[in-house]
């Protein structure tokens, strides 16, 4: 197959395309990780234990994952731009609802709706990129998209902590609502589907039964389930720490106030963004997706082992979390590896299935680790439940063990890197 070149008029248009789509993804990343900073404050305000807090964080990922199969069908049938705009409207409604929440039930329902709304902000752009860019550059484009989107993760650290401490978390989320509205308008105005893409989609138009049978075809592709399981153990491990337990860990074990927690997590996300840029093109250096993923996974498992076995002193916490963020920047390579398995007609469904592993894995990891932490006795301090250091070390160990088991399966997976076809 001939490598595809961008059907854009030049580099400026390509830059605008990726920039606008990454801006939308930024909103999703903010919501994914925001509970990590304000979680202790929400727990105090609404009297939440570890299990309730993990449900609040993870319900976003449950709804996000649950809609991935119909989302993939919609992307292949109606196009990624249409799917993205439709879900963005849902996201806007959920954001406003969250800011106005009056109880724990409202918070959970709003997070569920926001998860539905953000469900296309990675998969739809990836479908667009797969149609417009050379497949050899796909992992690099993913790294740029995810790295740019991680500005939202940055916003969910020190800036959110500052906002929560000054104007309150509700007003902070109203500001996010305004930013999300602007991002949606940018997608509507600046992201256009090419005539060639519409013709290709119309030419391979399938019936409803064919669309859903394509899902079965995708899961039967060789190596699908191995990469699926690896997805469930990699990004979800990072997200469980950054998006949920890092804030309580820093608050309970190191007595960090919200501003200090925000600054520490800001450093972690900044390191992850650097990692995304460094890891993003390593597959081209190795001529392989599998080799850099194995290297990154071994380093990640080692860091999780350190968190489980070593009582880190306060001075080491920030460097440790920065190393953690940098190492787990390899995760887009695994997405690119999964994408390489699917033919063009199954791309939307295939990518969405892979996203079920990553996002559904976050839901499972956050719920399981919430139950694990709740197993340890909590102490009431100023009306808030405080868990012992051993509870958080158990979380690191649990995530590290899962990653090691997935890696044992992954080492034998096939590796259809585009360089091997040249």
pLDDT digit string (tens) for 268-299?
A: 988 988 998 888 778 888 889 999 999 999 99
In angstroms, the CA 422 to CA 414 distance is 17
pLDDT band at 6 (very low <50, low <70, confident <90, very high): very low
**What pLDDT, on a 0 to 100 scale, did the predictor assign at position 197?**
65
Q: Tell me which residue of 366, 320, 403, 329 sits closest to 36, measured CA to CA.
A: 366
Mean pLDDT in residue range 115-138: 84
What CATH number is given to the structural domain containing 151?
Answer: 1.20.1250.20
> With pLDDT > 70 as the criterion, what percentage of the chain qualifies?
91
pLDDT band at 4 (very low <50, low <70, confident <90, very high): very low
Question: Is residue 200 predicted with pLDDT exceeding 70?
Answer: no
- Domain membership of residue 93 (yes or no) is yes
- Domain membership of residue 116 (yes or no) is yes
Mean pLDDT in residue range 192-217: 68
Query: Could you report the per-residue pLDDT of 143-174, keeping only the tens digit for each?
Result: 788 878 888 888 888 889 889 889 998 999 99
Question: Is residue 315 predicted with pLDDT exceeding 70?
Answer: yes
Question: Is residue 194 predicted with pLDDT exceeding 90?
Answer: no
Query: Could you report the per-residue pLDDT of 16-60, keeping only the tens digit for each?
Result: 888 899 999 999 989 988 887 788 788 888 888 888 888 898 899
The burial class, CB within 10 Å (0-12 / 13-18 / 19+), for 284 is middle
**What pLDDT, on a 0 to 100 scale, did the predictor assign at position 222?**
85
Mean pLDDT in residue range 175-200: 85
**What pLDDT, on a 0 to 100 scale, did the predictor assign at position 44?**
82
Q: Tell me which residue of 383, 371, 250, 367 sits closest to 307, measured CA to CA.
A: 250
Question: Is residue 92 predicted with pLDDT exceeding 80?
Answer: yes
Do residues 363 and 32 make contact, with C-beta atoms less than 8 angstroms apart?
A: no
Compute the half-sphere exposure of residue 379: CA atoms within 13 Å on the CB side of its CA. 7
Long-range own/partner contacts, residues 125-128 (CB < 8 A, 24 or more apart): 125/21, 125/22, 125/24, 125/25, 125/80, 125/84, 126/335, 126/339, 126/351, 127/75, 127/80, 127/347, 127/348, 127/351, 128/17, 128/21, 128/80, 128/81, 128/191
Range of the domain at 322: 11-421
Question: Is residue 207 predicted with pLDDT exceeding 70?
Answer: no
Angle at 113 between CA 110 and CA 118, to 5 degrees: 120
Query: Could you report the per-residue pLDDT of 223-249, keeping only the tens digit for each?
Result: 899 999 999 999 899 988 987 788 889
- Domain membership of residue 320 (yes or no) is yes
Do residues 204 and 345 make contact, with C-beta atoms less than 8 angstroms apart?
A: yes
In angstroms, the CA 215 to CA 170 distance is 40
pLDDT band at 8 (very low <50, low <70, confident <90, very high): very low
Number of folded domains in the chain?
1
Q: Angle, nearest 10°, between helix axes 169-190 and 158-166?
A: 130
Residues β-bridged to residue 379: 386
Question: Is residue 9 predicted with pLDDT exceeding 70?
Answer: no
Mean pLDDT in residue range 392-400: 96
- Domain membership of residue 6 (yes or no) is no
Q: Tell me which residue of 92, 94, 234, 242 sits closest to 160, measured CA to CA.
A: 242
- Domain membership of residue 3 (yes or no) is no
Given phi > 0 = left and psi -120 to 50 = alpha, else beta, which region is 234?
Answer: alpha
- Domain membership of residue 4 (yes or no) is no
In angstroms, the CA 46 to CA 53 distance is 10
- Domain membership of residue 382 (yes or no) is yes
pLDDT band at 13 (very low <50, low <70, confident <90, very high): confident
């Amino acid at each position: 197959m001939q490598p595809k070149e961008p059907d854009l008029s030049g580099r400026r248009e390509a830059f605008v395309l990726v920039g606008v789509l990454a801006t939308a993804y930024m909103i999703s990343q903010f919501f994914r990780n925001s509970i990590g900073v304000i979680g202790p404050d929400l727990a105090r305000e609404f009297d939440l234990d570890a299990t309730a807090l993990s449900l609040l964080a993870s319900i976003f990922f449950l709804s996000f994952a649950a809609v991935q199969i119909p989302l993939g069908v919609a992307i292949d049938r109606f196009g990624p731009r249409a799917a993205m705009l439709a879900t963005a409207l849902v996201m806007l409604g959920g954001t406003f609802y969250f800011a106005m929440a009056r109880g724990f039930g409202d918070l959970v329902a709003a997070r569920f709706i926001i998860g539905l709304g953000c469900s296309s902000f990675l998969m739809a752009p990836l479908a667009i990129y797969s149609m417009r860019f050379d497949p050899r550059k796909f992992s690099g484009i993913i790294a740029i998209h995810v790295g740019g989107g991680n500005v939202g993760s940055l916003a969910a650290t020190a800036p959110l902590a500052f906002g929560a401490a000054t104007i309150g978390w509700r007003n902070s989320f109203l500001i996010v609502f305004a930013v999300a509205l602007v991002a949606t308008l940018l997608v509507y105005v600046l992201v256009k589907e090419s005539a060639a893409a519409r013709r290709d989609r119309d030419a391979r138009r399938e019936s409803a039964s064919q669309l859903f049978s394509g899902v079965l075809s995708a899961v039967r592709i060789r190596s699908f389930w191995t990469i699926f399981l690896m997805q469930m153990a990699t990004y979800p491990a990072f997200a469980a720490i950054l998006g949920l337990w890092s804030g309580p860990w820093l608050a309970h074990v190191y007595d960090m106030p919200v501003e200090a927690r925000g600054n520490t997590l800001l450093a972690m996300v900044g390191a992850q963004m650097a990692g995304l840029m460094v890891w993003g093109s390593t597959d081209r250096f190795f001529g392989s997706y599998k080799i850099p993923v194995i290297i990154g996974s071994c380093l990640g498992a080692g860091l999780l082992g350190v968190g489980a076995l070593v009582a880190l002193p306060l001075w080491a916490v920030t460097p440790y979390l920065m190393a953690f963020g940098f190492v787990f920047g390899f995760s887009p390579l695994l997405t690119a590896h999964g994408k390489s398995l699917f033919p063009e007609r199954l791309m939307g469904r295939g990518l969405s299935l892979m996203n079920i592993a990553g996002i559904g894995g976050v839901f499972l990891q956050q719920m399981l680790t919430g139950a694990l932490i709740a197993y340890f006795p909590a102490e009431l301090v100023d009306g808030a439940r405080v868990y012992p250091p051993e509870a958080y070390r158990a979380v690191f160990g649990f995530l590290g063990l899962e990653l090691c088991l997935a890696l044992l399966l992954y080492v034998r997976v096939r590796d259809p890197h585009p360089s091997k076809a040249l």
